[in-house]
Chains A and B, each alone.
Chain A
Amino acid sequence: MLDESDVRATLAAALASGGDWAEVYAERRDSTGIRIDDRRVEELSSGHDQGAGVRVVKDAQAMYAYTNVLTHDALLEAARAAAAGLSGAQRATVADLTRAEPPTRHPVRLAPDDVDKARKIEVTRRCEEAAWAAGGDVRQVTASYADVSTRAFVANSLGHLSDETQVRTRLVVHVVAARDGLMQTGFEGPGASKGFEHFDEIDPATVGRTAAERALRLLDSDPSPAGEMTVVLNAGGGGVLFHEACGHGLEADALAKETSVYAPTRGQQVGSELLTGVDDATLPNGWGSFAFDGEGTPAQRTVLFDRGVQVGEMSDRISAGELGTAPTGNGRRQSYAHLPQPRMTNSLILPGGETREAILRSVARGLYADGLAGGEVNPATGDFVFGVTEAYLIEDGELTRRVRGANLIGNGPHVLRLVDAVGDDLATKQGMCGKGGQWVPAGFGTPTLRIARLTVGGTA
């Protein structure tokens, strides 16, 4: 998408004041957004964004300048602005650029650009109507559709060049149900690195109905009790726990800076022997998948802990350099206006040998969390908290009362050790992960997990 001789000249200008290497990242992003709210097509938006950033790296330092004017002069000006962050003499030169072949593909059968807007609205409409139809206590339905096609170009002075188009599609529905002054919400948001065919594979009506039924069920629930108890996390939903409690702490920038609770434990047994966790950007058509990360490193699958032993981390080029390892292809950026950071892609806990039913039967008294909301973690301490969207009490191996408003509070390394049963039923969810002001698509996957004891914050 950029002229190769312009790119070479830009990289050369970027290296003029002593960088080890330099990079040009450019993208074009075309997007469609639809929102149906209160039965009306409230919004249909088209976005066309473009821009390029020039980065100069010396040791662990990154100088960055970007512009959304894609002319040769604007690129050269950005290169000079980035180079102005250093004050040495030129030390590195620009290698011949070689176009890299994608290591994995996430095929798109129906490019969103080739689909009529009326069909996109129809998909959103089906989701929305099914939510309304789920019950008389449904008060509000908002259904949103999004497609984003990003052409991402990366070239660096070490000779790398890649040019990839990433396509993502997602349907998101929020439902509010109310009865007798009590309001509850339900949410679903399936996304994938796929084209419009995604909506043939997931039934939009099922998506809407599922969210609405959850909101309706929560109307018939009691406030959650508080205290320490055994907690069983449903398949898929537990991904947020893994993401928050371990994932962020295994991002290599936090390890290199020793701000992560996992910095001192590389190579050690940090979790239950039942737990193997991976980050996998090669997951076919996964929400967090790609062929090249935001700095051109090929996508890969990285084992983070193997039967509880901490064996890996997720890195970009700079943090890998600091740790003395090879980059794992986790350098992700929200857009051309952002520097790459080590980020998760699709984080998964691999399935174990027990059925969900057997795990539930094993609990005399506890909480079954059927879906988790977002959470937060302090990477320095490993302390975390996240909300439970829907939960049930487990009494003598049976799900009994439905409860709402529960929160799970704990500490990452503690919880990893306390997982004492792993189901055979891996399921994945999709979300947007925020870090350092940047939001990127992230997939989460887990089987059913039993945690021997965890603090439940409730409202009862």
Chain B
Amino acid sequence: MTLLELAQRVAAQAGPGEAVEAFASHSVTSSVTVFRGDVEKLSSAETRGVGVRVVVDGRLGFASTADLSDGGLRFALGEARANAGYTSSDVGNVLPAPAPYEPLDGISVPALREVPMGDKVARALELERRTLGTDPRIASVPAASYGDAWGEVAIASSTGVAAAYDSTTCYVTVYALARQGEETQTGLGFSDGRGWQDVDLAAAAGEAAARATRLLDSRKPATARVPVVFDPMVTAQFLGVLADAVSAESVQKGRSLLAGRVGEAVLGQGLSLIDDGRLLDGPGAAPVDDEGVPTGRTVLVDAGELRGYLHNTETATRVGGSSTGNASRGGYGSTPGVAPTNLFLDGSALPVDDLLRRADGGLYVQEVKGVHSGVNPVSGEVSVGATGLWIRDGALGEPVREVTVSSTLLDMLRGVTALADDRRFFPFGGSLAGATLLVGEMTVAGS
């Protein structure tokens, strides 16, 4: 029985007056982390599970199980039904109607499943060796890892949805620790793609080493108001905050600072913010979302102006619109929320060097700490700890530590004055693209 057939068997048990949906997933993953020339951790896993939604009279019940026997599935369906008896009725509690979708070629590289474990170990060891050999100041590599995953998802409902696809991912990550005297600094490097050939060890090793070593000999500066440039990883972290704000779920619940601002200018320099679930460059690409709705391209901010929000079926139904294909689940154990697929900034972009020349005397922020505590997604107040480098004569200069950057999210976004052409997707915590970004003048608090 295929995963889709299993999901369809559950959905077929819908009684009169009720709608039933089954979301089934099956994944096979492996990862290897090495330390000092030896395997430190090796993991290999296979998991399956089903989440069942039942809607009766606009009331929603949910249950999930890892027990895929007939008895286990029957129990989960029964519980989802019972739970629907306790919840409140809402116009948004509907299952989507079926819609045709185009398969997405290129998100699955089946050959990845055939790679022997020994080759994966060898690759992680090679990554560690290369990182150590990059620079004499690299004192150690706290973790060098290889990982891959194959996953299949199937969604079937009594309303007629029947969708399934599989995808693969392959990645390496490495932390380099640089030491000079008493001071230590760390840097992260990574490389990822769909198949074994997409991963570039030299690039990841070089990135980790460069990010760690260039911070050595850092000083805490005096407080000043200067132009601030975000490194692509930092831009991606702030895009993560923005991702919450453009979710219709956050908007409808009054938890978005972008609520009620459609038509307003929210991004500087005529930049656009786009989500595209069919963009093959992005790790979040998929033909359908987590309730079987086809994914697509959604222009959220067009030439600086807010156009709309990301929707799943529930949030779209509430406002009489249609889903943008952004239903997202944490796994078979959770109900669909709203999340971007591949989110990125678009617009006229400069070479990085040109952008840095425009920010002379400014701060290049390489790392921010405390984004989850220091950015209030509701009030928009931003105050984060930062580490980075001064920009001198259009290049990166001496490093700085222990500064705080403060602003509000909207001031920051509207204040953006340049985007660089080094766009790159970061697969950590969603699929968010970073690029070097000149965010204008901000207060940088030191001593």
Contacts and interface: CB of A to CB of B under 8 A. Distances in A.
A68 B402 contact: no
Interface stretch (A155-163, A297-305, A324-332, A375-383): A375-383
Nearest to A182: B379
Contact of A387 (B121, B185, B374): B374
B323 interface: no
B373 A387 contact: yes
B354 to A, nearest CB: 31
B221 interface: no
A387 B385 CA distance: 10
B373 A386 contact: yes
Interface stretch (A5-13, A37-45, A201-209, A284-292): A37-45
Interface string A384-395: 111100000000
A117 B63 CA distance: 14
Interface in A167-216: 176, 178, 182-185
A65 B45 contact: yes
A373 interface: yes
B88 A337 contact: no
Given A380-B177, A407-B370, A47 B142 contact: no
Q: Is the interface of A mostly helix, strand, loop or mixed?
A: strand
A34 B142 CA distance: 40
**Interface size range on A against B:** 35 or more
Interface in A268-324: none
A176 B404 contact: no
B66 A49 contact: yes
Given A42-B87, A62-B42, A185 B66 contact: no
Contacts of B369: 376-378, 383-385
B38 A409 contact: no
Interface in A231-259: 257-259
A68 B43 contact: no
B373 A374 contact: yes
Contacts of A118: 86
Interface in B295-348: 333-335
B159 interface: no
B142 A386 contact: no
Interface stretch (A77-85, A91-99, A107-115, A422-430): A77-85
B61 interface: yes
Given A380-B184, A455-B402, A375 B44 contact: no
B134 interface: no
Interface stretch (B75-83, B150-158, B164-172): B75-83
B261 interface: no
Contacts of B443: 226
A339 B43 contact: yes
Contacts of A85: 39, 42, 117, 121
Contacts of A81: 44
Nearest to B29: A337
Interface stretch (B46-54, B192-200, B201-209, B280-288): B46-54
A60 interface: yes
A130 interface: no
A435 interface: no
A66 B45 contact: yes
Given A42-B88, A64-B43, A257-B142, A47 B64 contact: yes
